[in-house]
Amino acid sequence: MSAHDQEKYLNKLKGANVLVIGGTSGIGFAVAEASLEYGAFVTVSSSNPERVHKAVAELQAAYPSRKDRVKGYECDLGEQATLDANMRGLLERVVDDTGRKIDHVVHTAGGGGLLEGKLAEMGPGDILGQPVMTRFFAPLMLAKHAPEYMSPGPRSSITLTSGVIAMRPMRGGMASIQSAFAAGLIGMTKGMAMDLAPMRVNLVLPGPVDTPLYDPLPEAVREGMKAQVGGTTLTKRFGRPEDLAESYLACMKDENLTGASLETNGGISLV
């Protein structure tokens, strides 16, 4: 009789139906990779169809034996008028195309550059624009529709994304707005954990991470910022998406974790 090692921890995501909203780039793309490596079926989504196509092709090339486990759909979450219907349509499509309910949703979608501008120049309509719609209101619409499209029980989870600016506002003229919504996500996560229980809801708060989010900045500014951040963090480097993915995996796999906020920022919030 041959003995087999137990695989109590390795298989927690095996066969799970995972949707990564914002999974075509950066942190979300790394979560999609990690989920595939742990044996999940993965759907990535974002607003740009070319980006969706490219991300699916890259994932299929990186995991050729799991090609049929990767799907991708376009879904724009940046417009108030279409947000509710688009979120619902995305969840419905994933359930229809995979033939079963979704076990885990990870939300990393967040466009609109780095929310440039000045508070002094903004009205309420500007504040409730695409960056806030995608990062703050989209999770609320996700919570609205989750009971219909997600598997019930503590094995299922939603993981949202905020940022270190929730605790440590950034200079630049937009700190009031950025930090209000970033910190609001901490309360939203606790409330959603209550509303959707026993399904679990958690939040990841990244510090600076090297992703295409910074591509719109001029190269010199980007490189200067990376060097400055690298000198500031306790880890002495910029975060990597593959490091961040571990926190999202923990949120999906730890069936005892709910309402929690995980800070992963190289210690930058301490200095």
Ligand X SMILES: NC(=O)c1ccc[n+]([C@@H]2O[C@H](COP(=O)([O-])OP(=O)(O)OC[C@H]3O[C@@H](n4cnc5c(N)ncnc54)[C@H](OP(=O)(O)O)[C@@H]3O)[C@@H](O)[C@H]2O)c1
Residues 62-81 that bind ligand X (CB under 6 A): 75-78
The residue behind tokens 């963090």 is: 233
* CB nearer ligand X, residue 200 or residue 239: 239
The residue behind tokens 């609109």 is: 112
Residues 151-170 that bind ligand X (CB under 6 A): 161, 163
Q: Would the CA dihedral through 31, 186, 200, 21 be positive or negative?
A: negative
Distance between CA atoms of residues 225 and 243, nearest Å: 19
Distance between CA atoms of residues 13 and 35, nearest Å: 7
Tokens found for residue 195: 């509303």
Q: Beta-carbon neighbour count of residue 142 at 10 Å?
A: 25
Q: Is 43 in the site for ligand X (CB under 6 A)?
A: no
* CB nearer ligand X, residue 56 or residue 208: 208
Q: How far is the CB of 264 from ligand X (least distance, A)?
A: 10
Window 225-254: contact mask with ligand X (x via CB under 6 A): ------------------------------
* CB nearer ligand X, residue 155 or residue 222: 222
Catalytically active residues, by annotation: 162
Window 115-154: contact mask with ligand X (x via CB under 6 A): ---------------x---xx-------------------
Distance between CA atoms of residues 115 and 84, nearest Å: 22
Distance of alpha carbon 239 from the chain centroid: 15
Enumerate binding residues for ligand X (CB under 6 A). 22, 24-28, 46-48, 51, 75-78, 108-111, 130, 134-135, 161, 163, 206, 208-209, 211-213
